[in-house]
Structure 1
Amino acid sequence: MTQSSCQEVNKYNQKLTKNNKCITTFKKIEGQKPYKCSVCSKDFTSSSYLYAHQRIHTGEKPYTCSECNKSFTCSSNLCRHKTIHTGETPFKCSECNKGFAFSSNLSRHKKIHTGETPFKCSLCSKAFALASRLRIHQTIHTGEKPFKCTVCSKAFDRSSSLSRHQTVHSGEKAFKCTVCNKAFARSSTLFHHEKLHTGEKPYKCYLCIKAFLYQSKLKEHQRIHTQEKLCVCIVCKKPFADLSQLKIHQRIHTGEKPYKCSLCTKAFTSSSYLHHHQKVHMGEKKKPFKCSVCNKDFTHITPLKIHQRIHTGEKPYKCSQCGKAFNQSAILYRHKRIHTGEKPFKPFKCSVCSKVFAYSSTLCKHQKIHSGEKPYKSSVFNKNFASTSYLYTHQRIHLGEKHYKCSICSKALISSSSLYYHQKIHTGEKPFKCSVCNKAFNRSSTLYRHRRTHTGEKPYRCSVCSKAFTRSSTLSQHKRIHTGEK
């Protein structure tokens, strides 16, 4: 073929490409999507979009990164990925200074700050900032999950969720924190993690100036002001701001633990609990977050922050009835029952002494009293305990550590629970009343033991001489007669 004929062919191809682009643009304007996926029935304006989409179902990833060998279904995704290695984010948000590799991503992000949600669901009237978010939401109503994992057959409502899930099987964590070297499967998770080091909280509540690391947490918080509690547990009536939180909570009542560890068969109610547990097998520190005041360790930063309020005296949760403040929302929720007269729901009963509990985990701890199981051993004092909290409290007695100080009388105590009950001496609060003699107590466990004086119940029996006792501590003292222990 001559040079002139080659040029003619190139001109014809360019003209054809231009015409195809015009046709695609026309279809977008008219709203036509004639190309349908045979697997998930999704429609597209052009055959090239359909062809690229079908790779999600086939698993084909022809575009490979030369830096890290990660593969992608389309060239545009590869281009976006390459910005991770270059670090280039030229498009900055004027509100929170977050950087983006593409202007389209910045445009979508800006809607978070403006609150613009033009795309409304016709079934439940929920509104979204993006049409793609609306499409994903609608699968909740249809139950459609077209994206299936080829390894474990788990199905998802969106391709991005499938991609994230697949990293569980591959173990791939390409995104590493430059401060603490912690690795993540997603760049977005790394982005949020890095804010833990900087202390940055870009999502601010306009009503109380409280700031949050995640937009989702801000939305949950704002429902405190609006009193919007859409998701209520049908068993114990506890309200939740989010459906996913309610589902996890309901497993407390059902006892369901769907997340099983493949190494030790231990099961958990949520994937995050399983993730923290697996660090034990991986050799990572079980509790990496330490309190700077009392050196107590935590598995996650959230319980550490709650714990630190004991030392600072911060009580952000206030009762609207009596003005009393608390350092945890759960304690406020329990306190409100004093005003409403509502009895706490406790579906888990001990088969030995019939004591009831709100949580299956609390019942498990309690049952160790009857079984005598004490798996936690002190390496210093050669004594065994039923739980880690009892072990830590016991060690503080010998070490003389008393990090929990009363803000009223400056008395120091060895545990947060001891401080909590001590403070009731100053307030005079005794919300737990005996229905027989009207005697009041500052804690439910004391009331429960007191009731045995009326019923004559003695659930703690000696395995040697069959003598029975009202308290487990009295039984422990009695056993020393048989063992000769002083």
Structure 2
Amino acid sequence: MKQREKPYSCEMCGSSFSTKSDLDMHVNTHTLEKAYSCGLCSASFTDRSQLAVHMQRYTSENPYHCDVCDSSFTTKSELEIHVCSQIKVKSYCCEVCGCSFMGQFQLQIHMQNHSGEKRYNCGACDLLFTTKSDLNVHKQIHNRVKPYLCEVCLLSFRTQSVLKRHLQKHTGRTTYSCEVPPSSFTTTSGLKKHLQNADEKKPYSCEICDLSYASRSGLQKHQHKHTGERPFSCQVCNLSFTTNSDLKRHLQKHTGMKPYSCEVCNLSFTTKQYLKTHSLIHTGEKPYSCGVCHSSFTHKSYLTVHMRIHTGEKPYSCEVCSLSFSTHSDLKRHIRIHTGEKPHLCGVCGSSFSQKAHLKIHMHTHTGEKPYSCEVCGSSFTVKSNLTVHMRRHVGNKPYSCGMCDSSFTTKSELESHVRTHKTRPLSQTL
């Protein structure tokens, strides 16, 4: 078959097109020009066909129907995704990690995670991305644009998918249904988790720990924990991970992407779980309680760390000096004593520090800020510990006692200075 001639080339990326209108439409993806606007909301689009599809959401026109169930969809691609989810066919398998996909295009995009290929460049910060959609979402961070507006409560969102999920809270609409047992869900992830719990058939078992999985790819991902294999590598800092989802979460630290926003205070987070934990601050809910002292916590991991106070467990050991710590972060800070690493740099004078808290205290010397004030005399201090020592002078607290005489002191340094006077006195004066 004769290949169609493509005489129109893009000067920015070299792509070729058969018609000038196709080229013009493509150029808009570089310039982010969206000339076609919706008259009902603030959404805008790069070409007329996208606007036409968008308008169907208001007219409730869903021309693509599923032959298996009664569902109907606005676009053909939405119907194809739905049909694949119904028959659960994922015939395109990754030979590196075992993940499977419904289409060859999805597999090709996934393979770029292993090859490290990143063709899409951000002009503002030079970061590279695997897909154009990832680049477009990232660009909104620079622009601080949230173009998708909820007309009910006027909150705005960076992506249409997040707005769509948010709207379901107002409408109460449940889009994804399970027939056995009858249940409905607002997100595909909710339906997927439900199906995994409902389906007792998990034919793929781990020979090491006897855990079972519904799919071969699920078992292969699990086995990485036993083998220590980490096939997913970060191209920025060379850290590697056992799963692609772990890598994606890590990459958000480099890109600055925080796609999950709190609807109460608009703070953004890198993962849905972080947002969920943060939301408990507004509700005041602390569902995890300590059975020993009845302290309660917003997150299960906080309770786990707290319990080590009672048990004395210190599972993280230093390989250099054998000191043990209750948390991995404590061990990490300790190791810097041996390595001399000081990763936290002051942007004003170039001083570096082993801990972020130390840098924060140091910055007060540049800003002159003294956030800790004495309620008795109004004196203020750069660090809380200095205020604590100062308060002892008001209350007369002298916790440091001399072992040679009856003197006591407010600070350890005052005691040390006093002890030296005993050492320098003649023997007859000390008797």
Query: How high is the TM-score relative to the length of structure 2?
Result: 0.48
- What TM-score, normalized to structure 1? 0.44
